[in-house]
Amino acid sequence: MEGRVPEPTFTLEGWHLLHDFRHLDFPAWLSAPKEEREAAWRDLQALLAEWAQVQAEGRGSFGVYQVITHKADLLFLNLRESLDALLQAEERLNKSLIAPYLSPAYGFYSVVELGSQTGPLDPEAPYIKPRLTPQVPKGGYVCFYPMNKRRQGQDNWYLLPAKERGELMKAHGETGRKYQGKVLQVISGAQGLDDWEWGVDLFSEDPIQFKKIVYEMRFDEVSARFGEFGPFYVGKYLTVEALARFLEVV
């Protein structure tokens, strides 16, 4: 019926997600007194141990990444049960002894989201909870980018009927399923929370898979007509030992 308002997507929300990208002032850090750097490293190890404890208790997950290009040097990725818990994690890093050597590069706040165009999802379904509370892989690489659905003329996602949106997303999902076992995808919603509508995290042992899946998905109508993409950030997971080498404290 003409003039009818399209039905919104049904969503379930899970963990809150913070992408905290930082620059490291390498000259200042490497020229700092040895005792000061060692103290900052011990404090950072304690912070990571706190985050690991949160994960062990099932209250969140985290990862630290070395980021390629000048966009950032490090990504501190945290998932928590609430915004308050994320604020505590961010505050702890901001007050750490290494914080004077770090400066903001980019940040994105969102909430892990599952959507359905056809009706409400069952939060008690066994496959739902793991997808709403994803664990950050402890290895490999990450690709993060924010995105919107276009709202221009005839290509206005929000004026499409739910059935048409569902068909488009189904075809899009079929492309993604071809990469099952190669790429883990986490979608988070940021409407009303940040400058873009969604955040996308791709995790893989092979960064070439990021190029392949994103390129192939560009040919899906939902991306070709309605996708608007922000900056892409790619990084490598850092274990505590790898982070120590990166900071040259070993």
Torsion of the alpha carbons at 12, 18, 21 and 24, rounded to the nearest 10: -160
Element (H, E) at 48: helix 34-56
**Which member of 141, 145, 179, 237 is catalytic?**
145
- For residue 197, which of 232, 154, 156, 228 has the smallest C-alpha distance? 228
Q: Using alpha carbons, list the distances in angstroms from residue 47 to 55, 75, 98, 152, 160.
A: 13, 15, 11, 45, 46
158 as an active site residue: the answer is: no
Strands (E) across the chain are located at 10-24, 60-67, 74-80, 102-116, 141-149, 151-152, 155-156, 184-189, 198-204, 227-229, 233-237
Is residue 8 within 8 A of residue 119, CB to CB? The reply is no
DSSP state of 180: T
How many other CB atoms are found less than 10 A from the CB of residue 89?
Answer: 21
User: What residues form DSSP beta bridges with 76?
Assistant: 20, 64
Q: Which amino acid is at 33?
A: P
Give dist(CA 184, CA 182) in Å, integer.
7
Residues designated as active site: 145
